[in-house]
Structure 1
Amino acid sequence: MRPLSLALLGLCLFLVPFLLLRSHSFITIHDNLDTEIGSPYLLNKFRVVFDYRPAAVIPSIMNGLPRNALRSGLNPTVWLFGAFSPWAAYLVNQALVRLLGLLGMWALLRRRWLPGPRRRGLAAGLALAWATLPIYSIYGLTVLGQPALLLAVLRLREGRGRWWDWLLVASFPVWSFFVFVGPFLGGAMAGLALYDAWHGQRAAALRVGAATALLGLVYVVVEWPLFYSLLVAQQFVSHRVEHDLLRTVPRGLGAGLRSATNFLVLGQYHSSQFFRGAMALAVLAALAWAPGGWRAAARRLAPWLLGMVAVAVFCGFVLQGVALVQHRLPLLHAFNLTRLGFLLPLASFGVLALSLRLLPPRRHVAAGLLVAAQLAIGLLMNAEWTNNLRELAGRPKKHQPNYAAYVAKPLFDSIKTYLSKRTGGPPSSYRVGCLGFAPAVAQLNDFYTLDSNQNSYPLSYKHQFRPLIAGELAKDAALRTYFDAWANRCFFFSHELGRDFLVPATPVRTVQDWALDAAAFQHLGGRFIFSAARLAHPARSGLRFVADFTNPDAYWHIYVYEVAGPLR
């Protein structure tokens, strides 16, 4: 069997646990199931995928979250959520993203980094290792699609590009996130064009410049609401203008060095967090065994390694610098410059591949072991894959619920049926707040929540929401900073629960004293509080107990409370 076929078979085996478990698959919760998955689902539910009018909103979030605060309707992930149920769309999206990532890395390795017939096996192994990294697949090809883009740009630069290379450049923005990689990829490509122009390679510079312009143009089309809001007419003032890095970012040389080291050795979890140990061993092997001696190997590897170190140091310290000028340059609130780190996974594989290329043929066993080590590292650090193996073995990880247990549809259907009888109306006729669990759970079950986790929403809503939780924020300085200086999680906090948004059904957690401003809650349209923890004294919060709900297959035990005052 050919190496590429073996790699594809390996990817199929990687996906088997997801296919067997289906809705009982474990799906990354943090910034994923508790945030990102609800967005494409609701865009399709309310039929506003391509509705970019200022008046278009998602009514079930924050009393009407502007549609343009969410992702582009041109993103294929959104289309998948329109065709399948959320869990099925997520798994199909993951399979497609990883497949395209494998093929893109294979092509880059075979044509650039590991050419030659003797290196097919190494290329296949590295392509599989790339495709199975612990990524946020909900971000599409933001990370795994970079090899295909790089190969296309290099072919165009050399004048050997074909129409499909231009198509690859134009396709990348459609299935990636501009705010994560767009500015950095565009900057790198523009820098390459300037380098070629400086060295008299005018034709190459023009071709790379044209590719850069194409990439930017398609990003503008895909992310038109974002660019229109930033550069033409702001639809709403985002809560991000109150992000205060002076209060949220650790400062000092030590903090910066720790952050830089983390970026270099592990990476940032959104961009793929995996130990760079195989890369380091490969570099050492190249320095020890390269036919031209360690000096020749060092000259080949130094630019890559120095570039990685420079990026890591930049990411480790940049937020400290931005904090000092944040009020004079408000546009910096729109982009997190540490996202330059999204380029480090590909760079680390580049160093690994180049090191393997420097090894003499007689070291093929060592090269194979290094590829196997990288594959093992990625798999073992892929929480979705390892947790699903535990699910299949009947030993799920505690407090890491699978999709079905987390979303708990039968449980929330029971709540919905009960409240429809109590209120005489559907979920759209009342608003709820969530305590001890992410509002995305309620949103995926078609409830209308006043709280949510959003990367951007109107600043005016943040100011309307704060009085509801002001009593709890006053009790806890850390929570107060978390909300006032950040507030992506516009949640109903409890100082007793802290930032625990995974309060399980057992053991039962009890909140002794919860300070909710019930009048402000009701004024904002709120009627019910869904709590994963029991409130010992709901009357102190202006609430009355309604009922509690359990289900053997659900992660949650939900206590429902209602505003005790008169309803408007």
Structure 2
Amino acid sequence: MSPFSLPSKPLHLALLGLLLFLLPFAILRERSYVTIDDNLDTEISIPYLLTRYHVALDYRPTAVVPPVMNGLPRNAMRSGLSVTVAVFALLEPLPAYLVHQALVRVLALLGMYALLRAHFLKRDNDKALAAGLALAWAVLPVYSMYGMSVLGQPWLLLAFLNLRQGRSRWTDWALIAGFPLWSFFVFVGPFVLVALAGLLLWDWQQGRGISKRVLLGMALLTILYLVVEYPLLYSLLIAKQFVPHRVEFDLGKLGPQTLAAQLKSAFLYFVTGHYHASRFFRGAAVLAVGAAFLLTPAAKRRAVLRQVLPLLVALAVVALFCGFAQQITDSLQRVIPPLRTFNLSRFHFLTPLLWFVVLVLSLRWLTSRKLQAAFIALQLLIGLGMNAEWLNNLRELAGRPLPDEPNYQAYVAPSLFADIQRYTMENAGPPALYRVACLGFPPSVAQLNSFYTLDSYQNNYPLAYKHEFRPLIAGELAKNAALRTYFDDWGNRCYLFSAELGRNFRVSARQHQQVQDWAFDAAAFQRLGGRYVLSAVQLQAPARSGLQLRGVFSARTAYWRVYLYEVVPSSSPKPGAAVGQKLPEISKFGLLVCKNG
């Protein structure tokens, strides 16, 4: 079956079901709940800033993103050759997110349906089964900002299975070539290639030979990823534009430390997966395997095991590897230092699709349509029941939102930050002339509201800047060993920390949180061009931190109450050393230090 053939009636019903799934977002619009952790607090602001400041396709070594970390090198951020970035170039952040998510999920449904009809459920009376499984796949909890990295994998598997069978339609090559344009290389690229190499080795061991078409497909996938990720690879490996902060990673200190904790982590990887790559309970697939084995005649049970057991063993091996990955990396990085910057555990991005393959292979052995439908319904309920974003939007519609899970409007709080910016505009001029940093809430909130922040949540930024920023928070890190490890041995969250808050990066207005003593280095803050601290908590002794309270801002629809603190005048730069004059020099210095590495 061609992936572009006309849809069947069951597929129409599945698409209708997906539209109903997406309907709460369309109704709520700005009141939609959007996943916050590792998403709204980082991923959504990145394509917004790249397109707003017209640097999405500017790959010159001197190009920077001005509002982030005193001019974050543009090539430290995601590639501009991305469908995701293109969507954000056309729309404002929230509409872009909602449209992008709808596109990802619709294509996910179509991709899974095409894969199943072409290779697993080919009979005419299997259309409803394939459509139900495709819908269950499309509603899984995923980070849609990662594009097709997870939900688009059925398209890629379809293309490679076609090539493996000796077919080579132009659509297969187009699917392989298009996948890098809508996925993250660091999340899936190397791991997909390893999996495909494993499939070729399996074929060779089974006496089928190695498919040259699959090898060519792997080469095409690699080449396209190199093209898409050229700016990052060029800046780090060839031009050595900057030394990434990731060279100081020591992930072994951040993961589970005891054997019991590592085994527990491996078990969780096996039964629920990882939240970045779709966390859902694998119970439907496991039960389906059991049902297929028990309900199949004894003479055919060995055939059932031959089909599903290799996949279950592979999933168990991946889970064990991921559970111990940080300790494995810790050992290997002593021999191969570059591994320090690479997360080997991301094989888990492949496991959702493998579990669905296990599920469909098991369902094929069941002769009862009702039992098949029951397992699909169970998987659908699991996906919906573990999709926190969808459930929180249902709560919003019902008028019963969770108090600590703000919707987009409350989280970004545009009216609140417009009031703050009116004040700072009168006293300090346009945002480009000064820098701010945030305490008690993510800097992405300020970035989405057009402030220039010294702090940020970034997967890649210059090590030199991390060292420049650390003195601001050194006093607080000294108070809390866990925070010190969190920053020094990881540091993607280059934030203002407070030992009293710990890792609470979301302090709401209703909490009325206070910090009694904040060891903040105002002089170091000024050296980086900082002028204002936007704090979601009240500082009981701001003078000891070198700050003065300038105002308290709140809004009815905002999740935050913001205390605006300014560096005390006595520690301001001398006349002639205006912040606006110094910032370009600081930005340039950060790049030069890294270049000389």
- Whether the TM-score (by the shorter chain) exceeds 0.5 is yes
Equivalent residue for 2:243, pick from 229, 237, 248: 237
* Cα distance in 2 for residues equivalent to 1:173 and 1:197: 27
Match of 2:59 in 1: 52
2:301 and 2:169 map into 1 onto residues whose CA distance is 38
1:487 and 1:132, CA in 2 relative to 1: closer, same or farther beyond 3 A?
same
Amino acid at match of 2:519: A
Shift of 1:513: 0.7
Match of 1:250 among 229, 232, 256: 256
- Mapped to 2, the partners of 1:359 and 1:325 lie a distance apart of 45
Match of 1:302 among 309, 313, 330: 309
Q: d(CA) in 1 for partners of 2:121 and 2:370?
A: 16
CA shift, 1:118, in A, is 2.3
Q: Does residue 183 of structure 1 match 2:187? A: no
The match for 1:518 is 522
- Residues 214-241 of structure 1: CA distance to partner in whole angstroms, max 9, x if unpaired? 0000000000022224442321101101
Whichever residue aligns with residue 237 of structure 1, its letter is V
Q: 1:189 to 1:296 in 2, by over 3 A?
A: closer
Would the aligned equivalents of 2:115 and 2:158 in 1 still touch at CA under 8 Å?
Answer: yes
Post-superposition offset of 1:366: 1.1
CA contact (8 A) 1:197 1:205 kept: no
Pair 1:306–1:494, CA change in 2 (3 A): same
1:352-371, Cα deviation, whole Å (9 max, x unpaired)? 000000112xx211110110
Distance 2:508 2:236 in 1: 41
- Partner amino acid for 2:326? L
Distance 2:235 2:401 in 1: 44
Answering whether residue 505 of structure 2 is matched by residue 498 of structure 1, we say no
Q: Compute the RMSD of aligned alpha carbons.
A: 1.3
Partner of 2:582: none
Q: Structure 2 counterpart of 1:455, which letter?
A: N
* Amino acid in the other structure paired with 1:298: L
In the alignment, structure 1 residue 90 sits paired with structure 2 residue 97: yes
The reply to whether residue 377 of structure 1 matches residue 382 of structure 2 is: yes
Q: TM-score, normalised by structure 2?
A: 0.93
Match of 1:397 among 391, 399, 402: 402
Aligned to 1:205: 211
* Whole-Å separation in 1 of the counterparts to 2:302 and 2:331: 42
Q: In structure 1, give the amino acid aligned to 2:540.
A: A
- Figure out how many residues of one structure are paired with residues of the other and give that number: 564
Q: For 1:196 and 1:260, how far apart are their aligned partners in 2?
A: 28
- Give the CA deviation at 1:280: 1.1
Which one of the candidate residues 187, 211, 220 is aligned to 2:226? 220
3-state SS of the aligned residue for 2:566?
Answer: strand
- Distance, in Å, in 2 between the alignment partners of 1:232 and 1:188 is 28
- 2: distance between equivalents of 1:51 and 1:558? 35
SS of 1:216's partner is helix
Whole-angstrom CA distance in 1 between matches of 2:309 and 2:244: 42
- Partner letter of residue 539 of structure 1? A
**TM superposition shift of 1:300:** 2.0
Q: CA deviation at 1:253?
A: 2.3
- Give, in whole Å, the separation in 2 of the partners of 1:153 and 1:103: 17
Q: Could you tell me whether the CA contact under 8 Å between 2:252 and 2:326 is conserved in 1?
A: no
Indicate the residue corresponding to 2:447 in structure 1: 443
Q: Which residue of 1 aligns with 2:42?
A: 35
Counterpart-to-counterpart distance in 2, 1:187 and 1:514 = 48
Structure 1 contact 192–208 (Cα < 8 Å) conserved: no
Per the alignment, in what secondary structure is the counterpart of residue 210 of structure 1?
Answer: helix
Unaligned runs of 5+ in 1: none
The corresponding residue for 2:109 is: 102
Q: Which SS does the other structure have where 2:565 is aligned?
A: strand
1:120 to 119, 127, 138: 127
Partner secondary structure for residue 255 of structure 1: helix
Q: Distance in 2 between matches of 1:74 and 1:449?
A: 26
Deviations 1:147-190 (A, max 9, x none): 11001111112122200100000001110000001001112223
3-state DSSP of counterpart to 2:37: helix
Question: Are the equivalent residues in 1 in contact too, given 2:534–2:562 (CA < 8 A)?
Answer: yes
Aligned to 1:367: 372
Counterpart check, 1:412 vs 2:417 = yes
Q: Deviation at 1:5?
A: 0.4
2:290 alignment partner in structure 1: 284
Output one character per residue of 1:238-265: Cα deviation in whole Å (capped at 9) or x when no partner.
1101111232222332222111111110
Cα distance in 2, alignment partners of residues 270 and 534 from structure 1: 33
Specify the code of the residue in structure 1 equivalent to 2:169.
R
Report the Cα distance in structure 1 between the residues aligned to 2:294 and 2:268, rounded to whole angstroms: 26
Aligned counterpart, 2:474: 470
**For structure 1, which segment, 225-234 or 81-90, has the greater mean C-alpha deviation from structure 2 after superposition?**
225-234
SS of residue matched to 1:546: strand
Which amino acid in structure 2 is aligned with residue 442 of structure 1? A
Distance between the aligned counterparts of 1:507 and 1:261, measured in 2? 36
Query: How far does the alpha carbon of each residue in 1:73-113 deviate from its partner, in whole angstroms, 9 at most, with x for none?
Result: 01111011111010000000000000111000001111112
The AA in structure 2 aligned to 1:22 is R
- The change in CA–CA distance for 1:334 and 1:185 in structure 2 (over 3 A counts) is same
Q: 1:507: Cα distance to partner? A: 2.6
Distance 1:563 1:132 in 2: 48
> Does the 8 A contact of 1:243 with 1:486 survive in 2?
yes
**1:288: how far off?**
1.0
- Residue matched to 2:547: 543
CA separation in 2, counterparts of 1:397 and 1:250? 30
Is the contact between residue 250 and residue 340 of structure 2 (CA under 8 Å) also seen in structure 1? no
Question: Which shows bigger deviation, 212-221 or 285-294?
Answer: 285-294
Are the aligned partners of 2:475 and 2:519 in contact in 1 as well (CA < 8 Å)? Answer: yes
Output the amino acid matched with 2:531: R
1:447 and 1:248, CA in 2 relative to 1: closer, same or farther beyond 3 A?
same
Residue 117 of structure 1: how far off its partner (Å): 2.1
Contact 1:542–1:563 (Cα < 8 Å) also in 2: yes
Q: Structure 2 regions of 5+ residues with no counterpart?
A: 1-7, 574-597
Q: TM-score, normalised on structure 1?
A: 0.97
Deviations 1:112-155 (A, max 9, x none): 12221222212111100100000000000000111110011111
1:77 is the counterpart of 2:81:
no
3-state DSSP of counterpart to 1:173: helix
Partner of 1:275: 281
Q: Find the residue that maps to 2:563 and give its secondary structure.
A: strand
**Aligned mates of 1:127, 1:109 — CA distance in 2:** 8
| Distance in 2 separating the partners of 1:220 and 1:395 | 47
Amino acid of the structure 1 residue aligned with 2:362: S
CA contact (8 A) 2:483 2:502 kept: yes
Q: Distance in 2 between matches of 1:490 and 1:214?
A: 37
User: AA paired with 2:216?
Assistant: A
Which residue identity lines up with residue 548 of structure 2 in the other structure?
Answer: R
Code of the residue aligned with 1:388 in structure 2: it is N
Cα deviation for residue 196 of structure 1 reads 4.5
Cα distance in structure 1, aligned partners of 2:163 and 2:259: 42
Moved more, 242-251 or 71-80: 242-251
- Counterpart CA distance in 1 for 2:514 and 2:202 is 63
Alpha-carbon distance between aligned partners in 2 of 1:325 and 1:120, rounded to the nearest angstrom: 48
Alpha carbons 1:193, 1:206 under 8 Å: kept = no
2:563 aligned with 1:559, yes or no? yes
| Contact 2:245–2:466 (8 Å) recurs in 1 | yes
Cα deviation digits, residues 270-322 of structure 1 (max 9, x gap):
00000001111101110111244433322221111111111111111122111
Per-residue CA deviation, residues 326-358 of structure 1 (Å, 9 max, x unaligned), is: 243222133211100000000000000000001
Whether the 8 Å contact between 1:192 and 1:205 is mirrored in structure 2 is no
1:529 corresponds to which of 530, 533, 536: 533
Q: Which amino acid aligns with 1:454?
A: Q
